[in-house]
Amino acid sequence: MYPSKHRIFVETVRCGSITATAHKLKYSQPGISHILQKLEKELGVQLLTRSKNGIALTTIGREFYLLFNDLLLTEDKISALKEDITHSIYGTVRICGFFSVLTQLIPSVIENVAKRYPFLKLELYEGLANEQLEKLDNDEVDIGITAPPVPKGYTFIPISDVPIGVVMHKRHPLARQQYIDKDELLNYHLLYQTDENAIELKIVFGDSYPELPFDYSSQSDYTLLRLVQKDLGIAVVSQLYARSLAPELTFRPLSGAYHTTNGIIFPKNKQLSQATRCFITVLCQMYQEKKYEKTSSVYILK
């Protein structure tokens, strides 16, 4: 796009000569001179005086220079705003996730999304694994943030591996240990989530999980932690819980390489909106481990 006559005039003043202006704007010197003369004729005033040493503003030329400079600044701001709007992403992303994910990971993601995509709206819903699947099936949310096992008919993008451990009251006997063997858990009151959501317990105990002694159960992560806070038992959870425990609680990792894998889930037949892909892009860039990057490459924005 060719620069406007007002911009050529302002640049000539800044450069101090027609030769320098022509070089900067990649114009011919006669071309610059012709445009300036045409502008002066249009305004009916002399804007510049010309000499061997270059150009100088006349008194009225200085007034027009200030006006044109302000005009160009406004034009530049308008162009920048139009560019932002053209490339802005609008829409709403509905996300369902574990209590630990929504409270520990997602706030930082939202902060970054707000900076990069200011017109994007996010709706957050707390839900356990089975609740996420139900909401996805009913098209109540766009994506879930869960952990395996992943049912057939769903796409799962792994984000990161999270160690599994035990949360307990600080006065609990196991709190004195740095690491806990899973068999030691059988000597104490275990709290657990309902069967379809007991992901961490199933990873640690496998097929023997149904035979474990339990005193209390809860479908809610929050309720589970409140029971532990009352010293009514201990709970096997992911390390994400350790980031914001009540002062009287503590987390101890299990001996062995036990971990769960948090990731994004959505139906395979679902066409992700550009807004949803924006959210996935930010989440993956912030938290996805390198070994999992290939799984998300087709869904993130370049």
To the nearest 10°, report the CA torsion of 61, 66, 70, 72. Answer: 40
For tokens 């819903």, the residue is: 125
* pLDDT at site 216: 78
Q: Is 192 exposed, middle or buried (0-12, 13-18, 19+ CB in 10 A)?
A: buried
Q: Please state, for a pLDDT cut of 90, what percent of the chain lies above it.
A: 58
Report the distance separating Cα 226 and Cα 154, nearest Å.
Answer: 33
* pLDDT at site 2: 57
Q: Could you please report the per-residue DSSP string of 168-223?
A: EETTSGGGG-SSB-GGGGGGS-EEEE-GGG-HHHHHHHGGGGGGS-EEEEES-HHH
Could you tell me which CATH class the domain 5-84 is placed in? mainly alpha
The whole-number average pLDDT for the span 199-215 is 77
> Which residue, 77, 55, 74, is CA-closest to 11?
55
> Which residue, 23, 24, 80, 12, is CA-closest to 48?
12
Query: Average pLDDT over the chain, rounded to whole?
Result: 88
pLDDT digits (tens, 9 = 90+) for 95-121: 999 888 998 899 999 999 998 888 899
Q: How confident is the model at residue 136 (pLDDT cuts 50, 70, 90)?
A: very high
Residue 183, pLDDT > 50, answer: yes
Residue 292, pLDDT > 70, answer: yes
* pLDDT at site 1: 47
Residue 210, pLDDT > 50, answer: yes
Q: How confident is the model at residue 43 (pLDDT cuts 50, 70, 90)?
A: very high
Residue 40, pLDDT > 50, answer: yes
Report the distance separating Cα 8 and Cα 40, nearest Å.
Answer: 12
The whole-number average pLDDT for the span 130-156 is 94
* pLDDT at site 100: 86
Q: Please state, for a pLDDT cut of 70, what percent of the chain lies above it.
A: 93
List the chain domain ranges.
5-84, 94-261
Q: Do domains 5-84 and 94-261 have the same CATH topology?
A: no
The whole-number average pLDDT for the span 226-241 is 89
CATH architecture of 94-261: 3-Layer(aba) Sandwich (3.40)
Report the distance separating Cα 31 and Cα 174, nearest Å.
Answer: 85
Residue 167, pLDDT > 80, answer: yes
Residue 85, pLDDT > 70, answer: no
